[in-house]
Amino acid sequence: MKLTIGHLYPDLLNLYGDRGNIQCFRKRLEWRGIEAEVIPFLSGDEIDFTKLDIVLLGGGSDREQELVCGFLQDIKDDFKNYVEDGGVVLAVCGGYQLLGKYYKTDKKTIEGLGVLNITTDWEPERLIRDIVLESPLFDRPVVGFENHGGRTEIGEHEPFGKVTYGFGNTGKSGYEGVVYKNVIATYLHGPLLPKNPHVCDYLLERALKRKYGEDAVLTLLTDEMEQKANDYIVERYNDKKYVLKET
Ligand code: GLN
């Protein structure tokens, strides 16, 4: 078996080690004897989504998001078709915002892909800290680090998780991210996947099943180190309360 991973715009969307997510996808496939091909698409490159099994859209500053916005408009329809067809996507922070309708700062409105029915408005106070979630997709917590000025309203969408520590989508709603079809969109940087191997395997398995059918499964890995990294964050914030912003 083989999966092809498209890394979108690593020249612009590359904050806080988002690239580590690519390494994690690749390694966890290789450890199971599954071939992994990673294709970095630089801004302006042509992208054939029919060749891709997983897409990573990382985080970026407002300036980089604005630059990316132009390239996204060219691939909007193909990206949408890929998502509607069950294509696997991990979108992080700036990438998450860009999946929505718009990201509005004090200076500009950056048009998104409109893949998700969400909107993001910037506020000057940034939401920065470690974050812990409970996600209905997993029986283990999801941990990460968030740093965003944007507040994302997710409307009717399913959130990725409930915030047990940290800020999340708005700092007020108590929820973080969005899950839609085979898309996970989240503010969690970190990189997200090495500390959350269960999230990585969830996405890999969705991609394998889409390509090879429901019988395709991943063998279990021991994940001793990965679990330690996850436990460390969970334990550190165990007795702390969810941080609600004042209204
Ligand atoms: N520029 C966006 C914000 O501040 C996203 C930042 C990021 O990707 N960390 O909300």
* ipTM entry: 0.94
C-alpha 138 to ligand 1 mean position (Å): 26
Say if residues 22 and 71 touch (Cβ distance below 8 Å). no
Burial of 115 (0-12, 13-18, 19+ CB in 10 A): buried
Mapped onto helix, strand or coil, the DSSP state of residue 233 is helix
Ligand 1 lined by 128 (C-beta under 6 Å):
no
| pTM score | 0.96
Q: Does the beta carbon of 233 sit less than 6 angstroms from any atom of ligand 1? A: no
Write out the chain's pLDDT in tens, 247 residues.
Answer: 999 999 999 999 988 888 899 999 999 999 999 999 999 999 999 999 999 999 999 999 999 999 999 999 999 999 999 999 999 999 999 999 999 999 999 999 999 999 999 999 999 999 999 999 999 999 999 999 999 999 999 999 999 999 999 999 999 999 999 999 999 999 998 779 999 999 999 999 999 999 999 999 999 999 999 999 999 999 999 887 666 555 4
Q: How far does the centroid of ligand 1 lie from the alpha carbon of residue 207, in Å?
A: 27
Give dist(CA 235, CA 53) in Å, integer: 35
Ligand 1 neighbour 149 (Cβ under 6 A): yes
- Report the C-alpha gap between 80 and 223 in whole angstroms: 34
Residue 150 beta carbon below 6 angstroms from any ligand 1 atom: yes
Could you say which of 157, 189, 198, 200 is catalytic? 189
pLDDT of residue 168: 97
